[in-house]
Amino acid sequence: MSTTKSPVGLVLSSQVPPEQIHGIAQTAERSGFGELWIPEDYFFFGGISGALTALNATSELQIGLGVVSAMARHPAALAMELATLDRLHPGRLWPGIGLGVPHWVHQMGMMPKSPLAALRETVTSVGRLLDGEEITSEGKVWSFDKVQLVHPATKRPPIYMGVIGPKMLNLSGEVADGTVLSVLAGTKYIGWLRERVAEGQAKAGREGEPHRVATFALCSVDRDAAKAKAAAREVAAFYLAAVPKSGLTDVYGIADELWDMYTRGGENAAQLILDEMPDQWVEDLVVAGDPEECVEKIQALIDAGSDSVCLAPQPADRVNEVVDLIASEVLPKVKPRAVQA
């Protein structure tokens, strides 16, 4: 395995049955991908058990847990799980924490009055507990009474935040070590995100500290470019319908147009978006096309400020085939981000 890690990683699709995680993780490591992220999209499969499966299946590959909802577990329980993963596989876990898709959080009756406070309290307390601290506090969302992990992390893993809007990105710069970008992030958004993160770092006196950005991207690769883009279009419509208002769409400049489609579509919003969205949205927000086109699109995301681009292969029933094509014809041609001194 090369000692220089590729800036191209994989994101496991939630549509993939969990029994395939082991084999896909082994393929990712064998093929030279730099990292593999295991999602926790409610209500598909468990991210923590999925991450453990991927860690057990590999020996060197970095495994990201991205992202778990700050509301799905008490921070003490989340820290305990993360510390266990770290101690079993030291230095290989990258935990990511976010609010989660609001619809899913509402379904569980766990939407906090202040998502910002919930994320701040969760990320900071998880970090302190991983470091072995004892916490007693009464926050806006979470309470602790002499909570301390018996088996803290061997070394605190870098904590990522999976967030989108400007205030949340400021917070990520303040308290996190990296940011996970949702699928459908365009190049303009990545530059904008870097600015918001830097503002948060400045507020916390963390100017100049490394802050790693991992960009998730829907990816459909086929030697028939039109076929690849058609497959990606359907998945993109699903995600646009799931989060029709966000910083991603605001910065890209399609917020009003997308919201109009969403409101007119009602329960069939995804289908209406699929029918009406311009082809340019697929060109700009999804890595889709023949291998050469995909190299160019991945490289553009890296040059815009991503430390890695983590591909979610589409369609889900052709994951192994798409991964093999990416590994052979895309991976070797993508260059790491040039970081200015």
- For each of the chain's 341 residues, which pLDDT tens digit applies? 344 789 999 999 888 999 999 999 999 999 999 999 999 999 999 999 999 999 999 999 999 999 999 999 999 999 999 999 999 999 999 999 999 988 899 999 999 999 999 999 999 999 999 999 999 999 999 999 999 999 999 999 999 999 999 999 999 999 999 999 999 999 999 999 999 999 999 999 999 999 999 999 999 999 999 999 999 999 999 999 988 988 999 999 999 999 999 999 999 999 999 999 999 999 999 999 999 999 999 999 999 999 999 999 988 788 889 999 999 999 999 999 886 54
Distances (CA, A) of 10 to 7, 40, 160, 164: 10, 15, 16, 20
- Where exactly are the structural domains of the chain? 8-226+287-333
Polymer length of the chain? 341
User: In the 8-state DSSP scheme, what is residue 157?
Assistant: P
Q: How far apart are CA 75 and CA 91, in angstroms?
A: 21
3-state SS assignment for residue 338: coil
CATH class of 8-226+287-333: alpha beta
- The answer to whether 331 and 32 have CB atoms below 8 angstroms apart is yes
Q: How many helices (H) and strands (E) does the chain have?
A: 14, 11
How many degrees, rounded to 5, is the angle at CA 190 between CA 67 and CA 6? 70
Q: How far apart are CA 187 and CA 248, in angstroms?
A: 10
Residue 313 forms beta bridges with which residues?
A: 219
Burial code (b: 16+ CB inside 10 Å, e: under 16) for 95-111 equals: bbbbbbbeebbeeeeeb
**How would you classify the pairing of strands 160-162 and 143-147?**
unpaired
Please report the sign of the dihedral spanned by the C-alpha atoms of residue 271, residue 279, residue 257, residue 100: positive
How much is the pLDDT for 114? Answer: 97
Amino acid in position 55: L
How much is the pLDDT for 318? Answer: 85
How much is the pLDDT for 340? Answer: 55
